[in-house]
Amino acid sequence: MAYQRFSLFPDSPSFKDFFSARSMRYRWRNGDPVITVTIMAICVAVWIVETLLKIAWPAGCNAFVGSGVFMPALATHRPWTFITSMFLHQPASLWHILFNMLTLWCVGPVLERMMGHLPYLALYVLSGLGGSAGMMVWALFSQDGWLTSAYGASGALFGLFAAILVVYQRIGIDIRSMLIWMLINFLMPIITPNIAWQAHVGGFIVGGAFAWLLVSGLHALRGKSLQQRTLMYGVIMLAVIIVIVVVCNMSNPLRANPLLGMFF
């Protein structure tokens, strides 16, 4: 008798088939939320590694997480943390990763189908970078801000929140209920400690600005394709973020110490 793979859902693909090149190409062309699923898979995989390290090798977990978290004082010494911090979550804490992934699944697929894969990916990454830039700006007004470390997808998620508000408002969908829900999320740091609200604000501003540029933007560029506008506005937004980081870093009291990164 030929072997048949057991499954509670006989028509569902195996894990290997689901992530095969052929399957991914089909879902990409079909408009499925490929980017959202990929981001979620990376975040969950990284969190599992963190958790296993925390259980088996706590010192290794601290080194692994510490090498990827974003800290304004080390921004120019460790530029990769602008990206890596988006995919890290609190080790062995189910609530942090669960809340962020549920939120991403509620908002991400809607935006990805409306915007397309690449514009959506640009939105997510730029919003995450905006969250880090928000922490840099806050450090100008708070000396403790330079040594405040942060990780998680929240900055990028707040950029998605802003984008969906912009898109819904443009197509005439009532956004009052979303505004209330958004306000609750912004007020969460008041009742929950250790939340990097600065990253939320930065991600929200960048995500909203980028979405507005794509749906409205400069009159001279409205005739361009969405892909062209994504590239042009994406480069502009990235340049603005880099300028903000560089200008803020000029006030970094620890920027002149090239060995600083060795102690964090």
Residue at 136: amino acid letter:
M
Model confidence over 50-99: pLDDT tens digits? 999 999 999 999 999 999 999 999 999 999 999 999 999 999 889 999 99
- Calpha distance 133→137 (Å, rounded): 6
Q: What is the DSSP string of 88-117?
A: ---TT-HHHHHHHHHHHHHHHHHHHHHH-H
pLDDT at 259: 56
Q: Domain 26-263 has what CATH class? A: mainly alpha
| DSSP symbol at 224 | S
- Calpha distance 256→98 (Å, rounded): 39
pLDDT at 49: 98
Q: Give the helix/strand (H/E) hosting 128.
A: helix 117-139
Question: Is the distance from CB of 224 to CB of 232 less than 8 angstroms?
Answer: yes
Distances 15 to 19, 171, 184 between C-alpha atoms, Å: 6, 37, 37
pLDDT at 9: 37
Positions in the chain short of pLDDT 50: 1-12, 15, 263-264
Domain range list for the chain: 26-263
